[in-house]
A and B are shown apart, each in its own frame.
Chain A
Amino acid sequence: GQQLNQSPQSMFIQEGEDVSMNCTSSSIFNTWLWYKQDPGEGPVLLIALYKAGELTSNGRLTAQFGITRKDSFLNISASIPSDVGIYFCRGGAQKLVFGQGTRLTINP
């Protein structure tokens, strides 16, 4: 089946630093989405991307839909403690495919 490779798997950063993570696939997707999962909760949608090359921001978060439609990037600027959690990328519809997740830890 389709697979998404998300990297890095984990990040340990200082508060205030910028964060970058990405997802790549061998398949083309028409939709890319990014979710955040807080401890003990289900994932919550952060950003949705629908067009190749699209760059979308949501506060300190910026995500891009790769031109080849096989990848996507998520950046978080000036990280704060509440950014801690697991971030997932997601591609496709119906049979949804999620990346393995990036666990973000922030040292105050």
Chain B
Amino acid sequence: EAQVTQNPRYLITVTGKKLTVTCSQNMNHEYMSWYRQDPGLGLRQIYYSMNVEVTDKGDVPEGYKVSRKEKRNFPLILESPSPNQTSLYFCASSLDAVDNYGYTFGSGTRLTVV
């Protein structure tokens, strides 16, 4: 089944403890992206990647890192999480940047930083 898989689905952590949220897609998509969703603010893009080893900042990149060493994986790294990073995170992928119909979201990761 074609899908975008995020792990974990839920995570509670403490301020300053490094964490990684994994994202993997099995559709051979070139374009991958991370979003955070907050009430009243909608979905805001954190980082995106056009292809392997090509990443770029979205609208809210501060406090996050990403890497794209392989096509299928696009992990989101929080080196020193803070409470304002408590949010619902989504990974998404598509064939390329203009593949609208193929743009697929994962099921989300709810992160709480205390």
Contacts and interface: CB of A to CB of B under 8 A. Distances in A.
B42 A41 contact: no
B43 to A, nearest CB: 4
Given A1-B59, A95-B48, A41 B40 contact: no
A93 B50 CA distance: 11
A88 to B, nearest CB: 6
Interface residues of A, number: 23
A98 B92 CA distance: 13
Contacts of B22: none
Interface string A75-101: 000000000000010000111111111
Given A6-B42, A88-B43, A42 B100 contact: no
Interface of B: 4, 33, 35, 40-45, 48, 50, 56, 58-59, 90, 92, 97-98, 100-101, 103-108
Interface of A: 1, 4, 6, 9, 31, 33, 40-45, 48, 88, 93-101
